[in-house]
């Protein structure tokens, strides 16, 4: 794994769980991005809460000797989307594995991920989280109102079509 992190509640300092990042391609690794549980955050057989542990898997370009790993905008959107699933799993307070994390209705399954994706279309958010790797200053981002809103509308439409198909199927 590339990195491991601990997630704490800032009010109580309680450790909620952990996540690992596996960011770069390697032989034998699948080619799509995903987030999955290593240990589900729920009550164990003695009624004690076990900490959620998740892994966020991506295939971002590897850094080279003369440049860091450079992410496209699509890569950034993917990272935020999958991180939404990671936080959904870590923040889940289910009692049983049956209802842990992303084991929810489809419309709620994608909600945290889609909310985080929206930051990837906000100029100020992009400016805060990125910079040109050579000159070290914030890059200039230009998104038209149409581009930003068409992305959100597309995501919502696909989600609704998916749900409508499930409802019609019974």
CA distances from 12 to 8, 37, 94, 107, 147 (A): 8, 24, 19, 30, 41
Q: Are 33 and 87 contacting, i.e. CB atoms less than 8 angstroms apart?
A: no
CA 120 – CA 43 distance, rounded (Å): 35
Catalytic pick from 6, 13, 14, 82? Answer: 82
Q: Are 60 and 75 contacting, i.e. CB atoms less than 8 angstroms apart?
A: yes
CA distances from 49 to 24, 40, 53, 125 (A): 32, 10, 12, 35
Range list of β-strands (E), the chain? 3-8, 15-22, 34-39, 52-57
CA 77 – CA 54 distance, rounded (Å): 19
Verify whether residue 124 is a known catalytic residue: no
120: which DSSP letter?
G
Active-site residues, by number, are 82
């Amino acid at each position: 794994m590339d990195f491991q992190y601990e997630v704490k509640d800032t009010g109580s300092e309680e450790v909620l769980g952990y996540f690992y990042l596996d960011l770069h391609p390697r032989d034998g690794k699948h080619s799509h991005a995903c987030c999955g549980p290593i240990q589900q955050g729920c009550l164990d057989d003695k009624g004690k809460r076990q900490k959620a542990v998740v892994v966020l898997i991506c295939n971002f370009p590897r850094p080279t000797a003369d440049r860091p790993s450079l992410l496209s905008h699509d890569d950034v959107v993917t990272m935020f989307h999958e991180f939404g699933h990671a936080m959904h799993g870590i923040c889940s307070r289910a009692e049983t594995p049956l209802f842990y994390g992303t084991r929810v209705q489809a419309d709620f399954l994608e909600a945290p991920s889609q909310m985080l994706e929206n930051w990837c279309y906000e100029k100020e958010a992009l400016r805060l989280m990125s910079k040109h790797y050579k000159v070290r200053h914030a890059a200039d981002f230009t998104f038209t109102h149409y581009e930003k809103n068409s992305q959100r509308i597309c995501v919502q439409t696909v989600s609704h079509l998916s749900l409508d198909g499930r409802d019609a199927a019974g």
